[in-house]
Every structure is written in C-alpha cells, then in structure tokens.
Structure 1
Amino acid sequence: MSTLVLLNHCLRLKDNPLLAQASGELCAVVTLEKTQFFGKQYGLHRANLTRLRQQMLLIADLKQQLAKHHIGLVTLFGNSTTELLQLAKRLKATKLLAAEPTAPEEYHLFQQLATQLKLNLNDANSLLANQLRPDLVMLSDRFTSFRKRLEPLLLVSAPLTDFSPSGSQQWLSPETAWTLSESWQQLTDFAPALPQSQKLSGPLYACESASWQRIEHYLWQQKHILHYKETRNGLVGENYASFFSIPLALGSLSVRSLWQQIELFEQQVAANDSTYWLKFELLWREFFRWQMRKYQTAWFSANGIKGPKQFLPPQLNVKMRLRFAQWCQGQTGVPFVDANMRLLNQSGLMSNRGRQNVASYLIHDLGLDWRLGAAYFEQRLLDYDVASNWGNWAYIAGYGNSEARPFNIIKQALSYDANADFVKQLLPEIIASGKAAHRPSSGSILASHSRDWFTELD
C-alpha cells in the first residue's frame, strides 16, 4: 500500500518534513483547487491570472527540482477531494501525508479525505511546532500578550537539514507521474492566455532557489536587514522591505529556515533593532496563523471574531458599488490611496504602510464592508496568505484582534511621502508639485479628521 505526499503548501526541498518523514511506496502530488483560482466571493474572482501564473511557475519549478532526485510530481487540477481520491484509488494508496492547514477550506478538504484515507498532518509551516505548539484554548487574542510569552528567548522549532532521498523511500518516477496528471492538461492548454508582460523576477519571483538568492542578497551580501526597521515604512523599491512574504505565503521558503538565517546573521555579523524587527514581523505572521486556527470561519463573518457570526454577503447600493469600484481601480480622488491601489493592480504587491491606509480608507472613510477589501486583496496579492490577509483586515476594521484603527490619510501621506514622489510616480496625471500633489480632488470622500490637515498641503 502506498502513501500520497501532498505538497500544496510545501513547494520546497529545504526544511520539508513531508519529504523527510515519508517512507515506503510514495507518490508526491500537488493539487490546484479550481474554486480557489476560478471561483468567486462577493462577486469578485478569488484570484487573477497573474496569481495563477505564479502558482503554476512554482509548481513547475518544484517538479524540476524533484526530478533531479528521480522523483515524479503528480499535478492535479479541479476539485482536490475528487482528484486525490481518484489518484489514491489508481495507486491503491491508503495514507495521505500533508502539511497541517490553517484555513477552514483546508480543514474541510482533510475531513473529506479522512473518510477514505488515513491522514498524517505535519505542521511544516509554523514557527511554533511540536513541543512549542500553543494551546488554542489558552491562546491570547492580543498580539502583545502572545509575543511576551515567547520573549525574551524567542524559541522556535528548528528547521530540518536539506532533503536527500533515503533507502526506505520508493518514490513514483517522473515518467509515471506525468501519465497520472491528466487533469493538469486543462491548465496547460489555458497557459498561453496567461499574462506574460509582467516579469516575476527579482523579489517577485519566489521559487525556492530565488528565495535563497534573496536571503543571500538581502541579509548576507548587502546587509539590508540592518536598516529594515527604518525602511519598512517605504512605499516602493526593491530593498525597503525583505519581500520574504511571497515565498513564505506560497510555501517555497520555510519560515523556520528564514528565522535561523536571521539568528545566524545576528551571531556572525550584527544584531540590532532591525534584525529583531524582522523576527517581530514573523511573530505577527505566526500569531495570525494560530488565530485563524482558533476561530476558523469567524474570520469570514461580517463581525469577525467579535460578534455573532453573519455570513451574508455585503449589501451594496448603487452608490456603494461605485465607491468600491473606484477604490479597486485607484480612482477615489485621494492621491495616496489611488497610488497604492494602482501599484497593487500593476505589480501584485503593496507596502505594509500602503495596505493599512487603503484598508482604513475603504472601511472608515467610504463606509464599506471590510470583507470586500480583504477579498480584493486575495485576488491581487502575490503574497496572499489567508490568515495574515483576513486577520489584518479585521484588525483595521475593529472586528479582529484590536479596536477599530481609522487612519488620517493626509497625515499619513505627508509622513511617508513628504514630497509626493511616490504619488507622482504612480499618478503621472497629477500636475501639482511637492506636498500639494497630495490634495484630494474636489468631490472625493474623506473623513473630517483628514480634511483638517488640508492646510498642511498649501
């Protein structure tokens, strides 16, 4: 009897417990769930074509890396439950080894598979795995309390050594895997229609080898990490942020390996507030993962984790629909918001500072349901992570792990884009120079506390 090794959230060879612990007759497999890329929520497509292309590129890269070890990768497209059970039947597989999930959809998948397969789940993508695993019942809903329980030692699970097939493993060959990947042909037939103009290179291309090249560049060669705390509020560029969020979200980089690299850098080169702050941000990511596991579907309720569950879709009148469309297109008339939204639409990324501001604007200035913004980010972000995305949106709205966080958009614009260089770069139609370029157009919607700052734009 054989075992299916599902690598959906572990598209890597380094620190991959699924590859390391598997034994016997094995079949490596990746599924691309059709509804997660072609389905809709609140009338929005759940992913755009650039996100789909990115996922296909990473899967193709993993297939090549496994083939070097004479391991085949079965690639499936469609309904993951149906596809995996059919594959198990063809191979007479009785077991499935996979990464422990975080989101309700993933738990639902495994509940269905468990009716016919014996499951073995490994928490391959958490900092706090195994003996460091938090108790969900006792888990604090406040990040500060969560962090203080871990500090000052900040102990995390250690990564595994590099993968090397063992004698106890009998993997399906690349040739056989190819014959079992019929459903993937639907996607490869569609591939020529995918956008080719946007190059997923540099920090944007997140296959495993590129991720480790980024670590080498950002940490060890250029030592950009030493000024991370000072540059993290930047808005555009290649090194103001680490950009590790992309491979972490996709599973092509292990968070435990990244943490280890930061600690090695601190030991061998230097440790300062910035090196700590990058680890601090990884703790935020970890916090949201455990919060998603704790509250599950509540994160998709209009009231988040703070009220009765209400899953009815957002109710929008004509005026609200127009406001949401303008926000999505970067045409609200508020330059700082529009510049960030156009950057998202063009590149699939937005800075953390930008994300907080456009989220606050949609929720607290336009008065729209926060879930609309979270759904649009899911469609567009190349570093989309279900827990971080929905957790952060609920956080700004006041339905998550914080009270509501309304931002003063004009004050923020002047603080982080004082000369409007960013705004002018993304909105070349603006004629005004200097801070005057931040002046909203007439008729634009803006909260009174932001309008009070208009005199600073003169």
Structure 2
Amino acid sequence: MSLNIILLNETLRWHDNPLLQLEVGPKVAVLVLDEKAFFASQYGVARANLRRLQQQLEAIAALKRQLASQHIGLIVCVGNIKECIRRLQQQFGATSLYAAEPVGFNEYSALQQLKPYLSVTLLDCNSLLGDGLRPQLDSLPNTFTPFRKQREPLLEVSAPSDHSVSSSAWLSIAQCEVFNHPFNQLYHQYAATDKNFSALEQSATTLFTQYIWQQQHVRHYKETRNQLYGEHYASFLSAPLALGTLSVRWAWQQIIAFEHSVTANDSTYWLKFELLWREFFRWQFRKYGARWFSKGAIKGAIDFNKPKLNAAQLKRFENWCQASTGVPFIDANMRLLNQTGLMSNRGRQNVASFLVHDLGVDWRLGAAYFEQRLLDYDCASNWGNWAYIAGSGNAAERQFNVIKQALHYDPDGSFVRAMLPEITSSGSLVHQPSQQFQSPEHWHHWLAKLRPASSTP
C-alpha cells in the first residue's frame, strides 16, 4: 500500500485538524519551513525578523511534541516546499499528498506544481466557509458589504471537526527523526530565550476561553476594539489564526455558544463581523491570486515592478520604519510594532494611511514591512488591507487625518507618553509634530485644538 504525505504547514494544531483525522492508510506527517518566507527579502525588506522566525519555530516544536505524545512522528523540512515534498515523495515512493488549502499565491502554486508527481488533495482547514458553504469565486462580490449580506442573518459556518485522531498508520517518531537534523540545528541556532508565545495552541486556546467564558470581555468588544493597547481590549485571535494554531471554526462556535447561553449583543456580533472580514480577504485572494502583489492590486494595469523611491521618499520610509517620523501618534504605534510585533487595528489603519497618503510611499513597501514584523502576519489580511487603504483593493482609498484620530483615540496622550516617554508635553500637546515635520494643510484645523493639560476640560 502506498504512503500518503500529510502536509501540516497551515495547521500547526491538534484540535479541529481534518488533516490529522484522515483515514487514508499509511501516512507520514510533514511540515516544511519555507526558507524563502523567513530568510529572503522583497523590495529590499527582509521578509521576517528574528522574533517572527522564533514564533514559527516554537509553534512547529510544540506541534512536534504534541504529535510525539500520541506516538506520531513528524518530519520537519527546511527549504523550498516543492523540492522538499518531491524529495520525500521519491524517498518513500509516496503517491498522494494531502494539505490545507493555502490562500497565499506562492504557497498554492508550489502545491499545484507537485501534481505531476503526486495526487494532490487540498482541504479547507482554516476558513469559516468550508464544505457546502464554500463561495463560488466567479460570483464572489468584490466589496465586503454584499459578501457579508450573503451570509446574514444566520451567519452559518462550518462546524469544527470532532473526530478523534488515531495513532495507527502513521510513521513512527524514530522513522521521522532521521530527517530532522536541519530543523533541529536551525531551532537551536535561533531558539528564543523567552518561549512565552501566546499564539501557540495551548496558550491561545486557554486565553480565548478565558476571554469568552471566565472574563467575559467579549461582552464589551465593540466598545474596546478601537483602543490602542492594553490586555483585554481585543480578542487577540489574529496571531493563532494566522499561524494555524487555533481553529477559526472553533473560535466562532465559542462565540455562538456564549450568545446562546449568556448573552448576544452588538459586541458578540461585532467579533463575528471581524472574523467575516478575515474570511472576505481569504476568498478575495483565492479569486485574484498574484494580482494582489501588483502596484494597482486588483484595480488598473498589472505592474509587478519593484517600488521606485526617490531619495526623499526613501528617507521618509526609513523614518517610518524606525518610528522617527516626528509625528508622535505614528511613531508611538510604530514603536509598539517594533517592540512587540503587534499593533491595534486602529493603529494599523493610521500608520498605513500616513505612509501612503501623507508620505507618498508605495503601499507595497508598508505591507512588506508589516510582513516582516507582525506576529499575526496573515498574507490575505495584510496585503488586502494595505491595498484597501491605498485604494487599490476592494474599496475607494481610505485617508485618515492623523491628528484628528489622535485626539479621538488618545485624547489625553497616555498612549503616546507610554510608548514615547521622551516626549514631555502635557495634555493633548503630546500630539504636536516635531518642527522638522511639515504638517499637511488638512491637519491644521485639528492641530489648533491641541491643548496642555491645564487647559483640558
């Protein structure tokens, strides 16, 4: 009987993992750490920093330990997905490959290129709208509201799989471990001293369960979601969902269960609403593929040429990356990103709008820098949202007045002072740009509203 390769790249978890529940005879669990995705660069920007690499390594190691506890081996390859799977196919004489269906164009293409050598079966393990709810791409709306209305009012989604995982038919730990020297070497070389990554499966499941049931912060999600930092203002689902360490279908059903047994309000609906935004971008990426990396994304002519910056634009982009633009609200959010690998949704919209519309920098450079830094980096959500802000995606461009936003979401300047303690101005004057930054005219009305603490009502 031929061997089946089960590729777990998009599903670094034990629970609700249809790939682990397949009953297809002899099989081997495989995971490929794509070297290009973590060690290459795009537009001159490294694709991942050390912290994001470390999180990925820890997530793989955690899955490896979980499988081992069930007497299931895991082969972890380091390199190119197509080449790694091809070598294993030749090594084992495998005839079939099962994998989660990616949304990233490069990852999807790599699996398609294996079809001459293997029977390739892709399962949608990470979408809300799997199985019979799968949208037809040719009739998929290009804007969010029609997409959302297709799914309401019931907002039905596929249920998480509750089948058990059998340890039989899998290659053993010893049979797999002989292939793992490159990964083990890489893991020891880059191992994090602080291994407390909240996006790993056990931590993510515990934290979201507490958020929903013990602490019930979901009751207030709509009121807190626009905060800039803190412990419980958001669900913090984005990183485990991006890694595939948490099942989006399980998370959805937790919210539904809370609505049925405790309360259903605007906040519980709004958290589901945000998960639908994630879903929308996933299907948009499947519809348009590589076009999302064109300068005009899904609008206008296709242009994959590298962004061109003059000397002034390059300096502005570097200052933006280094949190030294001279605009405190922007620099505070960018410092938060650089220090923690995370940023609030409100912060992301503002720094993106600022880079594109106020600094005149190609949006793809911003998307590339976010890819490097974000611990919740998700290909579709990241590039889709950047194109959205730039006006190249699923709506007209979104330009934010940064000073107006700062006054609304950080009125007393507490967030800026927390992130930029070197700024000593009191009250909302903390949002005053430095003298080196030439404020655009549309800021002037709001700059006139900045007041010291003693003048603040």
With the shorter chain as reference, the TM-score category is: over 0.9
Q: 2:121 is paired with a residue of what secondary structure?
A: strand
Question: For residues 22 and 381 of structure 1, do their structure 2 counterparts lie closer, same or farther at Cα, with a shift above 3 Å needed?
Answer: farther
1:323 aligned residue: 316
Residues 366 and 445 in structure 1, CA contact (< 8 A), matched pair in contact too: no
Could you list the per-position Cα deviations for residues 41-89 of structure 1 after superposition, in whole angstroms to 9, with x for gaps in the alignment? 0000000010000000011110111111100011110112111111121
Aligned mates of 1:140, 1:445 — CA distance in 2: 40
User: Which residue of structure 2 aligns with residue 178 of structure 1?
Assistant: 177
1:376 partner letter:
Y
**How far has the Cα of 1:186 moved from its partner?**
4.3
1:290-439 aligned at under 5 Å gives the runs: 290-439=283-432
1:116 counterpart residue number: 117
Aligned to 1:66: 67
Q: Which residue does the alignment assign to 2:87?
A: 86
Deviations 1:170-223 (A, max 9, x none): 00111111112233244135225xx53xx453xx52111111101221000000
**1:79 aligned partner, one-letter code:** N
Deviation of the 1:23 alpha carbon: 2.1
Which secondary structure state, in structure 2, belongs to the residue aligned with residue 18 of structure 1? coil
Q: Which of 416, 426, 445 is matched with 1:452 structurally?
A: 445
Match of 1:236 in 2: 229
Q: Once the two structures are superposed, what CA deviation does each residue of 1:330-375 show, in whole Å capped at 9, x if it has no partner? A: 0000000000000000000000000000000000000100000000
Q: What residue number does 2:187 align with?
A: 188
Give the distance between the partners of 1:358 and 1:259, measured in 2 at CA.
29
Provide the secondary structure at the position in 2 that maps to 1:121.
Answer: strand
| Mapped contact 2:74–2:176 kept (Cα < 8 A) | yes
Do the aligned partners of residues 51 and 22 (structure 1) sit closer, same or farther apart at CA in structure 2, a change above 3 Å counting? Answer: farther
1:251 to 241, 244, 250: 244
How far apart in 1 are the matches of 2:308 and 2:339? 28
Q: How does 1:201-220 map to 2 (within 5 A)?
A: 201=196, 204-220=197-213
Contact 1:301 1:311 in 2 (8 A): yes
Cα 1:162–1:220 shift into 2, 3 Å: farther
Aligned alpha-carbon RMSD (Å): 1.2
Aligned partners of 1:299 and 1:391 also within 8 Å: yes
Are the aligned partners of 1:14 and 1:163 in contact in 2 as well (CA < 8 Å)? no
Aligned to 1:57: 58
Q: Which residue of 1 aligns with 2:454?
A: none
Amino acid in the other structure paired with 1:115 = P
State the partner residue of 1:2.
3
- SS of 1:30's equivalent in the other structure is strand
**Contact residue 10 and residue 252 of structure 1 kept, 8 A:** yes
TM-score w.r.t. structure 2 length?
0.97
Shifted more, 138-147 versus 81-90: the winner is: 81-90
Instruction: Give the counterpart letter for 1:173 in structure 2.
Output: S
CA distance in 2, matches of 1:100, 1:191: 29
Does the 8 Å contact 2:58/2:195 carry over to 1? no
Query: What is the number of residues matched between the two proteins?
Result: 450
Residue 96 of structure 1 aligns to a residue in which SS?
strand
Aligned equivalents of 1:42, 1:78: Cα separation in 2:
21
Query: Please, which moves more after superposition, 280-289 or 447-456?
Result: 447-456
Output one character per residue of 1:253-297: Cα deviation in whole Å (capped at 9) or x when no partner: 010000001000111111110000000000000000000001111
Instruction: State the one-letter code of the partner of 1:184.
Output: F
Corresponding position of 1:25: 26
Question: Are the aligned partners of 1:15 and 1:163 in contact in 2 as well (CA < 8 Å)?
Answer: no
User: Which shows bigger deviation, 113-122 or 351-360?
Assistant: 113-122
Distance 1:321 1:118 in 2: 47
Counterpart residue number, 1:289: 282
Q: Which moved more, 1:448-457 or 1:125-134?
A: 448-457
The structure 2 residue matched to 1:441, chosen from 431, 434, 445, is: 434
Does structure 2 retain, via aligned residues, the 8 Å contact 1:359–1:396? yes
Per-residue Cα deviation, 1:409-431 (whole angstroms, up to 9, x for no partner): 00000100010000000001101
Shift of 1:446: 3.4
CA distance in 2: counterparts of 1:445 and 1:350, whole angstroms = 25
**Whole-angstrom CA distance in 1 between matches of 2:295 and 2:229:** 32
CA distance in 1, matches of 2:130, 2:401: 39
For residues 413-457 of structure 1, the C-alpha deviation after alignment (integer angstroms, 9 at most, x for no partner) is 010001000000000110101101000011214332123211101
Gaps of 5+ in 1: none
